[in-house]
Amino acid sequence: MHQFMNEEVTMNRRNFIKLTGLGLGSLALSSSIVGCSGNTASSDIYGWNGPNPAEQDIRLKVLSYAILSPNPHNKQPWIINLTGPRSFDLYVDPERLLPATDPYYRQIHIGQGTFLETLAIAASGLGHQVRFDYFPQDMYSNTELLHKPVASVELVEQPDIAVDPLFDQLLKRHSNKREYDNRSLTADEINTLQAFHGTQNDRPLSLVSGPQAQSSFEKILTEGMQIEVGDRARDDETIAMFRFDEDEVKQYRDGFGIAQAGVSGFKKRLIETFFLSRNSAEADPTDFGEQAVAMTRKTAASTATFGWITSTGNSRLDQVKAGHDYCRLNLKTTAMGLAQHPMSQVLQEYPAMLPLQAEFKETFGINAQDTVQMLFRLGRAEPTPHGPRRLVSELVQG
Ligand SMILES: Cc1cc2nc3c(=O)[nH]c(=O)nc-3n(C[C@H](O)[C@H](O)[C@H](O)COP(=O)(O)O)c2cc1C
């Protein structure tokens, strides 16, 4: 193997991938070889141990859980302004947006809702009730971002509060981006999720399974990724959040890398050493984009159940509420031993995506006026390592 590596490393990266067939797509899919556990040494740090047991401040304790919520590109777009001994305001961090792929910050606001939901669940586990006052200084429109709180949060001590059963899932939940095993969820699982989400929910959940849905999604999701890549600003935005090696993870404590797609151990080191480099991806994102498309095709093709959450309105509050819903669902699927993975390209609002988005809605009978807030795949797969989180202190002002 050593000799193999020495010979191959003299070739350029593109030839290497072609000759060995070791593109990221195929690598990410070899779960039998990967043999990865969700509980690696690195998943014990970067926030995933929960609050420091010595921490006394209830605000910091609940925030230690809230930072673990799902959020776009693991940007962690949150600022906390402490307003009282048991209260704080949540703001969008204007330095942590994704303007090229999320031009109206819709996904960023979903990531505020996931944060608030995780926080509420954590508070229940810590003997506190949470009171939210959404957009207390008025809600801004869905095309602007103003420096106004998304929510004022008050923690009220209530030792007899019923602990949300999802509390046990907070340190386990993750987005599982690896290949699934091609089996649909069972009818029981579908019913459980629908009942959990609630048939009266203003933001209905749709779940579809079967070969026809699978082939439509394989086509639509792959095309979505094809549209997404190949545009310099969008490529740069993704590459900026891609963590090419452990040093970058340590330095930034945000973003995502091949570990989150299920690549671990020797293979991960090999790829990070010889295939992936920030310099070459930034100089020419073509290979990086091609791998993203190949990976999207393979992961979609490995999945037999897809879901989405729709809202009739698309106000900032609708987006935040969709985040609450999505987060709960992801925690519920975690409790059920299922894997879940958002795939958002086709939902994005930049002009080049809109024709495919219209086709997606038509294919699945979604009202053209409605907003699909989250689209994701569901299935079964080995867990992947957690994405890193920054320190709570980095979010907190005041
Ligand atoms: C609004 C939103 C959109 C997302 N879109 C995608 C996506 O298109 N592709 C993807 O791989 N993950 C997507 N994710 C998942 C994030 O990458 C993931 O939540 C983040 O990296 C943190 O990782 P974790 O969920 O495993 O903790 C999305 C998450 C949210 C909340």
The CA-atom distances, in angstroms, between 154 and each of 83, 119, 181, 391, 392 are 9, 11, 43, 21, 18
Residue-wise pLDDT for 292-321, tens only, equals 999 999 999 999 999 999 999 999 999 999
Confidence band, pLDDT 50/70/90 cuts, at residue 8:
very low
- 203 found inside a domain: yes
Tokens of 332: 């519920």
Average pLDDT over residues 212-218: 97
- Provide the whole-model pTM: 0.91
Q: What is the pLDDT of residue 274?
A: 82
DSSP string, 309-367: EEES---HHHHHHHHHHHHHHHHHHHHTT-EEEE--GGG--SGGGHHHHHHHHHHTT--
Q: What is the pLDDT of residue 186?
A: 98
107 C-alpha vs ligand 1 centroid, how far in Å? 10
Q: Is the CB of 74 under 6 A from ligand 1?
A: yes
Average pLDDT over residues 109-125: 98
Distance, C-alpha 364 to centroid of its chain: 23
Domain co-membership, 225 together with 82: no
Q: Which domain holds residue 141?
A: 52-171+386-397
Q: What's the CATH code of the domain at 212?
A: 3.40.109.10
Q: Is the CB of 342 under 6 A from ligand 1?
A: yes
Domain co-membership, 189 together with 81: no
Residue-wise pLDDT for 11-27, tens only, equals 334 433 433 333 343 33
- 47 found inside a domain: no
Domain co-membership, 307 together with 331: yes
Q: How many CA atoms lie within 13 A of 367 on its CB side?
A: 10
Query: Residues with Cβ < 8 Å from 250, sequence gap 6 or more?
Result: none
Q: Best of 36, 73, 237 to mutate for ligand 1, by most ligand atoms within 8 A of CB?
A: 73
- 46 found inside a domain: no
Residue 70 identity (one-letter amino acid) = P
Residue 225 identity (one-letter amino acid) = M
Average pLDDT over residues 144-164: 98
- 125 found inside a domain: yes
Q: Is the CB of 174 under 6 A from ligand 1?
A: yes
Domain co-membership, 124 together with 273: no
Q: What is the pLDDT of residue 33?
A: 25
Q: Is the CB of 107 under 6 A from ligand 1?
A: yes
Tell which atom from ligand 1 comes closest to the C-alpha of 343.
8
Domain co-membership, 143 together with 235: no
Tell which atom from ligand 1 comes closest to the C-alpha of 345.
8
The domain total for the chain is 2
Answer whether residue 219 shows pLDDT above 50: yes
Domain co-membership, 225 together with 367: yes
What is the pairing mode between strands 396-397 and 78-84?
A: parallel
Domain co-membership, 210 together with 318: yes
Residue whose CA lies nearest to ligand 1 atom number 28 = 72
